[in-house]
Structure 1
Amino acid sequence: MGLFLLWFFFGIGILVQVIYLLVIFGKTAFYTGSKSKSSSENEEGVTVVICAHNEFSNLKTLIPKLFEQDYPLFDVMVVNDRSSDSTRRLLEKMMESFPKLRSVTIKYTPPHVTAKKFALTLGIKVAKHDVMLLTDADCLPESDQWIRKMTEPIRNQGKTFAVGFSGYEQKPGFLNNWIQFETLLTALYYMSFGLWKRPFMAVGRNLSYRRSFFMDVKAFKNLWHIEGGDDDLFVNLYTNGRNTEIVLDPEANTISKPKENRKDYFIQKKRHLHAGKHYDGEDKRKIGLYSFSHALFWLAGIGLLIYVGLDQSWEHFCVVFGIIVLRSVLITLIFKAAEKKIQGTKPPKNIWILDFLYLGYFWILGTISHQAKDIQWK
């Protein structure tokens, strides 16, 4: 009976994993759609909104870079959220050099309201244009076409949301390699389901939507009490296959500075994973089914290798081992193809090893994040 159950669970794991890798993730990996247009008939005004808390050094780099964008009508709104460094003086000085730069300062956050959502709401409320393009202070556009390409679905296709990709700088070391892998896997979730017209999340480092829609739904109504989720939970509530477009184009990406130690990375991911428990039930299953089948595949596969190995059933051992190898080859190929489509860069190293380690990462950190009470922005 035990052997039968191991084979049964292993078979279920293989079936679901193949569906995800080839059919769902394959939508991104084998994407053949045309890139977003480099020029457009409607060059509607765009406001880039950035929330910043003690981001002096990052803003010093980011703001001049933003004004290199090849787009005729845009401005930049920086929300200075309770900064205690030289952010305010920097913004005042930069506004003299960049007339399209504006800022608003927050001195305190009202009770029972999370800081990031309050800052973002204030920035959007006073924005000059209706098309919003959100990013973070530690991000940089990957090209001077970022504004044009990220907002094109909203300006010219009548979409409410445009969801883009934001990656991390590639650096040596295991932690950075892991960050590249986990970021790519997350992108495969939300970009692939978005391309299948089932969008359910986004990252606030590269997201566009209309100010009028944001105000119509009363900003973050019913989300104020949740720390985080200003991007994925907001998108989870309001996106659908008709009003949302995935922008799959390396020139429309942003890139961020990665965490450089495990403690900072743990805090960041705990905040990200914590928001996931508030997703719609169907959207939880989109991630959960992959992770559950991933666990079935590896645990049942390892169990079978041990069982048939002790039983010296080498034919069965070779079959199981061969299936594990084939899946490792498949996931490596899918991730490499997806990385090329999304970023146009080299994929993480040793993907099959990282895939195995993801087994512990998701279930351990996910459980800790789900139960965490100390989640905060900054």
Structure 2
Amino acid sequence: MDLFLLWTLFSLGIIIQAVYLLVIFGRVAFFNTPSTKQEIENEEPVTIVIAAKNEFKNLKTLIPKLFEQDYPKFDVMIINDQSTDRTKRLLEEMMAIYPKLRSVTIKYTPDHVTPKKYALTLGIKVAKNDVILLTDADCVPCSDQWIRKMTAPVREKGKRFAIGYSAYEQKPGFLNRWIQFETLMTALYYLSFGLWKAPFMGVGRNLCYRKSFFMEVKAFKGIWHLDGGDDDLFVNQYATGNNTSIVLDPEANTLSKPKENWGDYKIQKKRHLHIGKYYRSEDKRKIGFYALSHALFWLGGIALLIYFGLQSNWEHFLIVFGIILGRSFLMYVIFSTASKKINGSKVPSNILINDFLYLGYFWILGSISHQSKDIQWK
């Protein structure tokens, strides 16, 4: 490849990366919670909605945790989606203990819809309250203030969406370290653009909106047939800078159980990445520009190092190497600061190694997922 072209592509990658790291992701890293006046809180009732399929063990842990929430008016709706384990019996036992726990059992799913969307639609439809707070069965709130803080933008500010963060439990092993990094990377995408008044996705493990709005837009109209998208694609269709708030507070987070083997992780990520192709064009560009510049940076940088090394041009070799180190240091600072801001903890380990591996994740697994037809919820 022509040396001038190689330098041009590498430089372009550096410039775009700098914009993303400093300007876009920096919005999260340097976020300051705005001061608010003390006002009388609108303690509007909230319904927590959870779709569960064969989640006996997780629900046994989650349900008591939900009823430790410090919020006066809420109930819990759990949709039992054709479970074959002891979920139904557990819910019956728990409803005797917790009067504000309700459940709906689904015995079949119509052919024209996908299971989780059908389950969520039925659960939201029969929910008692207008404010809906969504999470998954394998999640737990990170504090007893979860309901209060996650629903505040919808209850008190008239927002259509409140988008929160859901972390994964830290466990030993390379897979978990990768999950920590990839989760933070994804969060920086949607939290940063959300703070810049350009939201494009949210996660169903921590998402709030109104039942009245959900019914007004006829639930998942247009995306019924897709396995996935009940959270990010739904937000992508209707979220705007004016009707959406990002909730950036460790007490408003949820904590999820991570996948523990590569096979289960691959199934999960194929579903997530597959849905991305249905985003609006401008939103796909938000992710695409970063991924392209990331590839130009690493591939261009490595190619230049090899070229100058073979030519024994150590002056230019050190210049390129210094640029790579500088960008890596900047990334580490931004990711470390953002991680502490989002969940109050230190940055995931091996961040620079995982940053390089992100090339294969996005371009290889992303391409496979884009074309895949075997997407499933459970």
Q: Which residue of 2 aligns with 1:266?
A: 266
1:77 maps to which residue? Answer: 77
SS of the residue corresponding to residue 110 of structure 1 reads coil
Q: What whole-Å deviation, never above 9, does each CA across 1:346-377 have from its counterpart, x for those lacking one? A: 21112111101101111000000000000010
Cα distance in 1 between the residues matched to 2:227 and 2:40: 37
- 1:228 corresponds to: 228
Pair 1:358 & 2:363 matched: no
Identify the residue that residue 68 of structure 1 maps to in structure 2. 68
Counterpart of 1:311 in structure 2 is 311
1:146-295 counterparts in 2 under 5 A? 146-295=146-295
Q: Does 1:13 align with 2:13?
A: yes
Write the distance in 2 (CA, Å) between the matches of 1:207 and 1:241: 16
The alignment partner of 1:136 has SS state of coil
The code of the aligned residue for 2:61 comes to T
Structure 1 moving runs of 4+ over 4 Å: 35-40
Counterpart in 1 of 2:139?
139
Counterpart position of 1:24: 24
Are the aligned partners of 1:146 and 1:251 in contact in 2 as well (CA < 8 Å)?
A: yes
Using the TM superposition, give the Cα deviation of residue 39 of structure 1 relative to its aligned residue in structure 2, in angstroms.
8.4
CA contact (8 A) 1:37 1:152 kept: no
Distance 1:116 1:38, change over 3 A: farther
Give the match for residue 372 of structure 1. Answer: 372
Q: 2:245 & 2:8 partners in 1: Cα distance?
A: 39
- Please say which of residues 1-10 and 216-225 is displaced more in the overlay: 1-10
Q: Find the aligned partners of 2:266 and 2:282 in 1 and give their Cα distance.
A: 27
User: RMSD of the TM alignment (CA)?
Assistant: 1.2
Name the structure 2 match of 1:87: 87
Task: Give, in angstroms, the shift of residue 332 of structure 1.
Answer: 0.6
- Structure 1, unmatched stretches of 5+, are none
Aligned to 1:41: 41
- Residues in 1 aligned to 2:10 and 2:113: alpha-carbon distance in whole angstroms: 46
Contact 1:42 1:155 in 2 (8 A): yes
Q: Which amino acid aligns with 2:319?
A: V
Q: Taking structure 1 as reference, are residues 68 and 352 closer, same or farther at Cα in structure 2, changes over 3 Å only? A: same
Give how far 1:112 is off. Answer: 1.6
Query: What is the letter of the counterpart of residue 26 of structure 1?
Result: G
Q: Determine the C-alpha separation between the residues in 1 that align with 2:124 and 2:63.
A: 18
Aligned length: 378
TM-score by length of 1: 0.98
- Matches of 2:115 and 2:196 in 1, distance apart? 34
Structure 2 match to 1:115: 115
| Cα deviation, residue 140, structure 1 | 0.2
Q: Distance in 2 between matches of 1:319 and 1:47?
A: 57
SS of the counterpart of 1:47? strand
**Partners of 1:190 and 1:38 in 2: CA distance:** 29
When residues 70 and 172 of structure 1 are mapped into structure 2, their CA distance, relative to the original with a 3 A threshold, is same
Q: What residue number does 1:96 align with?
A: 96
**Alpha-carbon shift at residue 312 of structure 1 (Å):** 1.1
Higher mean alpha-carbon deviation, 35-44 vs 125-134, is at: 35-44
**Helix, strand or coil: the match of 2:135?**
strand
CA deviation string 1:108-127 (max 9, x = no partner): 00002000000000000000
Q: Which amino acid aligns with 1:366?
A: G
Give the counterpart letter for 1:233 in structure 2: L
Partner letter of residue 216 of structure 1?
Answer: E
Alpha-carbon distance between aligned partners in 1 of 2:291 and 2:33, rounded to the nearest angstrom: 28
What is the one-letter code of the residue matched to 2:158?
G
Looking at structure 2, the residues matched to 347 and 38 of structure 1 have their Cα atoms a distance apart, in angstroms, of 33
Q: Distance in 2 between matches of 1:338 and 1:24?
A: 11
Measured in 1, the distance between the counterparts of 2:121 and 2:261 equals 31
Identity %: 72
What residue ranges of structure 2 are gaps of 5+ in the alignment? Answer: none
Deviates further, 307-316 or 13-22: 307-316
